[in-house]
Amino acid sequence: MTSAMPNGLPCKRLGVVAAPYCGATDRPLQRDCVLPISRGGRYTLDNVAPACGSCNSSKCNDEVTGWLRRKRLDERAFLVRHLEIKSALLVRFHAVPNAATEAQETKTL
Ligand SMILES: [Zn+2]
């Protein structure tokens, strides 16, 4: 499979300051798949989000909504932050013809 994302999500360069799940602003972020690969998720622009280390290891392969509820995290805030990150990624990758096409194709799979 071809990944639409380069290695290492450049969160800082995207200007992402808050982790989308918990809103943490003071820790390094790791790349997470919102829908885990083990549940049929893919490395697409729609499905990746930066996560802080503690969210990433706690969420692991859980389905995101159930996990947010169990952790009593703010689902709405997550959706808004995730949308902002997706938009930033789309703008960024729009400038790269192959990456943009790839993302489109992966979405239809
Ligand atoms: Zn977190």
pLDDT for 46-85, tens place per residue?
899 999 999 999 999 999 999 999 999 999 999 999 999 8
CA distance 33 to 106: 14
Q: Decide: 19 and 52 in contact? Cβ < 8 Å.
A: yes
- Looking from the CA of 48 toward its CB, the CA atoms found within 13 Å total 22
Q: How far is C-alpha 79 from the chain's CA centre?
A: 11
Cα-to-centroid distance, 33 and ligand 1 (Å): 14
Give the start-to-end residue ranges of the domains of the chain.
20-103
* CATH 1.10.30 for domain 20-103: yes
**Is the pLDDT confidence value at 6 over 70?**
no
Q: What is the mean pLDDT of residues 28-55?
A: 93
* Span from the CA of 100 to the centroid of ligand 1 (angstroms): 28
Percent of the chain with pLDDT over 90: 50
Name residues with Cβ closer than 5 Å to ligand 1, which is an ion. Answer: 19, 21-22, 24, 52, 55
pLDDT, residue 97, reads 56
Report the b/e string of 68-90 with b at 16+ CB within 10 A. beeeebeeeebeebbeebbebbe
